Amino acid sequence: MSGLPALKFLHQEASLNPGKLATFEKMPTDALKRSLAPGQAHALKTRPDGTILDGHHRVHVLKGRGEDVDMLPREILERDPNQSQC
């Protein structure tokens, strides 16, 4: 067990961009996983509870391919207490 919380989608599936999904569907699974790796420009970023902040489309594609997305390494972003909440 990785000790990481399960990923939670911030956005509903219906709100995902079909063009982005089509582009990511063309990418090999390994390339998608590498693009989400910590340290990449658009790494998988989540809140401490697993809510996805960056990487929604790629995670959606990987999940559709049967990948265990909850095991993906991620950058966990803490909420800035000085930032206003909307």
Residue 22 lies in a domain: yes
Residue 69 lies in a domain: yes
The string of pLDDT tens digits covering residues 1-21 is 468 899 999 888 899 999 999
Residue 44 lies in a domain: yes
| pLDDT for the residue 86 | 47
Residue 84 lies in a domain: no
| pLDDT for the residue 1 | 44
Residue 8 lies in a domain: no
Task: Say how far apart CA 50 and CA 75 lie, in whole Å.
Answer: 10
By the 8 A CB rule, do 52 and 59 touch? yes
The string of pLDDT tens digits covering residues 33-69 is 999 999 999 999 999 999 999 999 999 999 999 999 9
Task: Say how far apart CA 3 and CA 19 lie, in whole Å.
Answer: 34
Residue 49 lies in a domain: yes
The string of pLDDT tens digits covering residues 72-84 is 999 999 876 555 5
| Element spanning 75, H or E | strand 75-76
DSSP assigned state of 76: E
| pLDDT for the residue 80 | 63
Number of structural domains the chain divides into: 1
